[in-house]
Structure 1
Amino acid sequence: MFYKKFVQNDIEETNTFIRRVFFALFIVFFLSCLQIVNFYYLQILQFKHYSNQSNKNRLRIKSIPSLRGNIYSRDGFLLAKNCVYYQAKFIPYKNKKLYLKSKFTDEKFNKIKKIFNFNSTEIKILKKKYYKNSYFHSFIIKNYINFVQMAKLIVNLYDFPEIVITSHQYRYYPYGSLTSHTIGYVSGNNRPDTIPITSEKNIEKYVSPHYFGKTGIEKQYNHNLKGKLGYKKIEINSLGQETKILYKKMPDIGEDLHLSIDIKFQRYIESLINNYCAAVIISDPKNGEVLSLVSTPSYDPNNFIHNIAKHSYFLLLNNLHKPLYNRVTQALYPPASTIKPYIAFAALSSKIINKDTILRDSGYWILPTSMKLFHDWKKYGHGDLNITQSIEESSDIFFYEISYKMGIDNLSKWIKKFGYGKKTGIDLPTESLGIVPTREWKKNKFKEKWYQGDTIPVGIGQGYLSSTLVQMNKSLVTLVNNGVSKTPHIVNSISKKNRLYKIQEEHKKDFILDDKNYEYWKIIKNAMYGVAHRKSGTAYKNFVNVQYKIGAKSGTAQLFNLKKNQSYTDIPKNLRDHKIMIAFMPYNKPRFVISIIIENGGREVNIGKIMKKITDYIALQKIYK
């Protein structure tokens, strides 16, 4: 009995042991499977993720700046170039023992103070930087060190093995404010030059230029000027210090731009208008080249290169004369009487009038079916006038009548044909559209219908009509070329490594007006000739006895209506009339189209005198003859 019980217990214990062993083996097997699955997940499925994480911690891309392309005037002067400045920089030691051994003392700080002529505040800031960053991060001790300071530092380098001198490039504009509205300026990139990478593919996307164009030609042609950056792929240690270069790609220099701007001509133009808020653009009607583009007042673009101080920037921004504003392409003005030649052409083409049509100018005009009175600038009128005389004497009444007969639909259609109300395509990044009013425009803008009285001022370049100076210039190019327009452009050609090629074809496209009636073009240009060379012409007194022949038209953009018994001198200066003038020369074979505006010039400014000085300069200097 006892034996039987013993055998039963032994069998049960064996079975229990076996079950426990199997259970333990199952646990081990299960955990091993989990481990294998986890290994598979981490090593196979998540390989790319953790590889990228590892590279992000270990690898860096450090950009190598490319040389930005130079910008030249048509006469070969450098308008934008690269210069070098030097920087004293603290580089932390890789070895902690060496760092502790060479730690800066007050004696070293005093030496630095003498080398760089630091004041007590600057030394205090430097100490703060040092104690905050010295072991882990490099920092700049001084930017733009001169050669004397550099020599002193080199002599004392045995005391400062952790200080290095590095060279950097910056953009410089030799002519400063003279070319600021044409060339523009560049701005520094805030991105660090050393950044982690997360992928081996498309490494180029991680690097970006140290400078990029902010305004003007620098912005418009940034893709040409910037070149292609170089970079190096490096390994770093736990302190972020470079330990090994894995790959290096050298940068490719940017392309040089050759402009159509004549810098001597530009300087002369600026000297004529630098006391006004004014603008001038001069172009070649044969190819659209812009020979001069001046907007005053201006600013020095060099101040923007090295992070302009906030107070200096706000002074420019809040200046009432708006020096940052390009008055050639951005400002909108009523074209005033300078639009009359195009209205006259439209009326001839629409058969509203013919070359023999005579209209009487009595000094006022009454809107039919209304008692509303519109006055001429000449109190008692000009008498009987044909189309030629109406342009020569700048009769308002003549153009009130033909504008009324044409109606706003036909009028706005023709004004748009001459390039108003749309961008000219000039190769600058900021250009305003201007306004050519229509029924739909007024309804959308003011929620009002169009009245006949709204049409009349449009016929003399007033009312809701507004345009940029470059639009006025391009419209005159169209007239001079008998309906063939040219896209204005500033960049003539691009060169790289002694290879020169012309600018893209899109800047040379011709836009042809539908009506090609040669007789009408001849009539209008003859009338503009009379403006300057016939006794009844509004600009005759400025161009009497000149040895060359031009076509011209002046205009006065009225900003304020005088009340009864109110004197013009009582009007604030910012509400006084704008003075505008357009011209082309030589008359028979035009090579220059000139547009000028003097803001709030009023009666004190003789814009014809300024135009004559420009045309005299062209004739006497025999520019591009």
Structure 2
Amino acid sequence: MPWGEFKDTVAERRLFQRRTVVMLVLVFVMLGLLVARMYQLQVVEHDVYTTLSDKNRVQVQSVSPPRGLIYDRNGELLAENRPVFSVTLVPERVGNMDETLAKLQQLLEVSEEDMERFQRRLEERRRPFQELPLRYDLTEQEIARLAVHRHELPGVEVAAELVRYYPHSELTAHALGYVGRINRQELQRIDPVNYAGTNYIGKSGVERFYEELLHGEVGYQHVETNARGRTLRVLERQNPVPGENIELHMDLRLQRLAHKLLDGRRGAIVAIEPSTGGLLALASVPGFDANLFVTGIGVDAYRELRDSLDKPLFNRALRGQYPPGSTIKPMLAVAGLDSGATTRDKTIWDPGYFQLKNSGRRWRDWKRSGHGWVDLKDSVAQSCDIYFYEMATEMGVDTMHHYLSQFGFGEDATLDVSGAMSGLLPSRDWKRAVHSQPWYPGDSVNMGIGQGFMLATPLQLATATSVLANRGNWAEPRLLKSVQGDRSVDEVLPEATHQSISLKDPDTWAFAADAMAEVMHGAKGTARRVGRNAAYRMAGKTGTAQVFSLAEDEEYDEEEVRERLRDHALFVGFAPLDNPQIAVAVIVENGGSGSGTAAPVARAMFDAWILEYSQQESLAALGQETNN
């Protein structure tokens, strides 16, 4: 056998050993790499991967702060928070949205409106992993059904949240406003950090103006979740800071009385405490249930409110702009005396009409036969139009604009009343800019009795009356009385900007107040029946505002005029005369006579505040001091 056919065992052994060494080296190198990688992961990058792991297991959830409560001046709760259970979905955790919604519709009663509202919110810009509510106010049976099928509904939770509730909804709706779901526009302007857990924001009224104060500061909690995103336990929690509780000047008793006095008639009542500017009552009738808007009002319910002829959503007290009529005569009397356009003793003959020229148009007095000889005090007491026609012509628009603007007409003079309109105080420049016409003497004639272009809100009329009651001293209207926290009212309220009205003769204020007292107590006062048998002296002025114009020789027949075209009834006044505690403005739309319709309402407000409510406040304050 040839030599080459024999095995070389030595060579094979060497080859095997080399291959073994190589494999062992390769194995040790791989093990070294694995150990090195393990060291890097477990030691070097331990914190990084621990954080990533915790992100899968631990989540940070924002905790919305409880909204601050709102009280009236006597501690009556006007706005509170109540727990509501709702079903919510987190879109990022829902596997199949259509299937999930179909399943929920089998378990719950979900209306088409709820579904449409949810689809809109789903399409809107929102925060990541934000819970979207599908339905509110779940019953115990519905909560139980969801609990049974919870494992079939990833991303679906039953959430308990505090929702705003207004126990006196219709009484306070226009003054307090309401909160609602945060919309797309609001989402762009709010602080995304502080509102991370908040679904609601103030939409109008006090709720909107004091949103920052009422909202509070968001809190956080670290929670452990399972693979389906269900919360297992809370690991750490930083409690939110609740919003501040606030107390308003409003008296719920007076607010309730105002609504009762209007008795369903369209109108508004504004009552102010002259010494502080505090708004005691801010009533607009008809009202609406503010609770409907908190979690989202239905389409049909909103359409019914929106399309109602009585306009319950319209805040007449703040946004209703009416011709003030004769209610501005006391302010014009002050203007006429201080400007020298008239004197206290000047008398005129009132034949029942006024003419700028002998052959010109006749402006009529409300009393067809005229008032005869009258002076300024008589003209205020009897509401003689002719005297004010002449005085307005003598003053001219510039003088009238100058003085009336000092009473707050033509501007929003409030400190913290959201949504108040500015009315219209016309001037030469305004008419030229708007109507491209000069100011005519006839325009001044109309302005002299609060007609023509001039418009004012009930709040402005009450403000001007309060200034007159204070003898020219300003106290801007405000709702906030106190903050139940570390912040003072002065820190929260905007700075007052109005200066006291300075007259050449300070006694003019007393004369104007006495003239208004003659309206209520004088033998020929237009509201003498209302002021009869009063336990105190009061000052007032009746007014009537035309809804439509009459031809020059056409007479007004209330019975022939449709109800909604009848004159508005107005009244302004304050009481008591020498130490004013309350100033009131009343308007009853299409109410006809100011003396017959609006004045009795104001008298009831005076009596309630002076003879009943303020005395109760004094006794309560005295009892509190005694206890302390």
Whether TM exceeds 0.5 here: the answer is: yes
Partners of 1:484 and 1:510 within 8 A in 2: no
Aligned ranges for residues 45-60 of structure 1 at < 5 Å? none
58-67 vs 468-477, which moves further: 58-67
Distance 1:184 1:486, change over 3 A: same
**1:576, CA displacement in angstroms?**
1.4
Q: Deviations over 1:103-158 (max 9, x none)?
A: 99x9xx89x96xx6759999x99xx9xxxxxxx9998786422345546776x589
Match of residue 586 from structure 2: 596
Identity score, percent: 30
In structure 1, give the amino acid aligned to 2:264.
Answer: N
557-566 vs 285-294, which moves further: 557-566
Out of 591, 602, 611, which is 1:620 matched to? 611
SS at match of 1:325: coil
1:463 is the counterpart of 2:462: no
In structure 1, give the amino acid aligned to 2:295.
Answer: H
SS at match of 2:316: coil
Distance in 1 separating the partners of 2:88 and 2:325:
60
Give aligned pairs, total.
Answer: 539
608-617 vs 279-288, which moves further: 608-617
**1:266, CA displacement in angstroms?**
1.1
Gaps of 5+ in 2: 1-51, 120-128, 619-628
Q: CA RMSD in A?
A: 3.9
Aligned ranges for residues 304-383 of structure 1 at < 5 Å? 304-368=293-357, 371-383=360-372
1:289 is the counterpart of 2:288: no
Q: Deviations over 1:305-343 (max 9, x none)?
A: 121111211221222221111111111011110111111
212-221 vs 369-378, which moves further: 369-378
Distance in 1 separating the partners of 2:259 and 2:63:
39
Match of residue 63 from structure 2: 64
Distance 1:88 1:462, change over 3 A: closer
Partners of 1:486 and 1:509 within 8 A in 2: no
Match of residue 35 from structure 1: none
Distance in 1 separating the partners of 2:352 and 2:211:
54
Match of residue 549 from structure 1: 537
Match of residue 34 from structure 1: none
249-258 vs 333-342, which moves further: 249-258
**1:495, CA displacement in angstroms?**
1.3
1:266 is the counterpart of 2:255: yes
Distance 1:440 1:622, change over 3 A: same
1:187 is the counterpart of 2:180: yes
1:529 is the counterpart of 2:522: no
**1:610, CA displacement in angstroms?**
1.9
SS at match of 1:485: coil
**1:549, CA displacement in angstroms?**
1.1
**1:430, CA displacement in angstroms?**
0.4
Out of 562, 571, 576, which is 1:586 matched to? 576
Out of 502, 518, 533, which is 2:489 matched to? 502
Partners of 1:473 and 1:595 within 8 A in 2: yes
Match of residue 558 from structure 2: 568
Match of residue 73 from structure 1: 72
**1:65, CA displacement in angstroms?**
1.0
**1:188, CA displacement in angstroms?**
1.4
Partners of 2:546 and 2:567 within 8 A in 1: yes
**1:351, CA displacement in angstroms?**
1.4
Aligned ranges for residues 418-433 of structure 1 at < 5 Å? 418-433=407-422
TM (normalized to structure 1)? 0.77
Match of residue 5 from structure 2: none
Q: Deviations over 1:326-380 (max 9, x none)?
A: 1111110111101111111111111122211111111111113761211100111
SS at match of 1:328: helix
In structure 2, give the amino acid aligned to 1:79.
Answer: L
Q: Deviations over 1:247-288 (max 9, x none)?
A: 864321111110111111211111110321100011111010
Q: Deviations over 1:411-460 (max 9, x none)?
A: 21111121111111241220111111111111111111111111101011
**1:620, CA displacement in angstroms?**
3.2
Partners of 2:517 and 2:538 within 8 A in 1: yes
Distance 1:477 1:120, change over 3 A: closer
Distance 1:602 1:224, change over 3 A: same
Distance in 1 separating the partners of 2:393 and 2:112:
73
Partners of 2:539 and 2:577 within 8 A in 1: yes
Distance in 1 separating the partners of 2:62 and 2:544:
55
Distance 1:119 1:319, change over 3 A: closer
Match of residue 9 from structure 1: none
SS at match of 2:394: helix
Distance 1:89 1:324, change over 3 A: closer
SS at match of 1:68: coil
Match of residue 597 from structure 2: 606
SS at match of 1:374: strand
TM (normalized to structure 2)? 0.77
SS at match of 1:445: helix
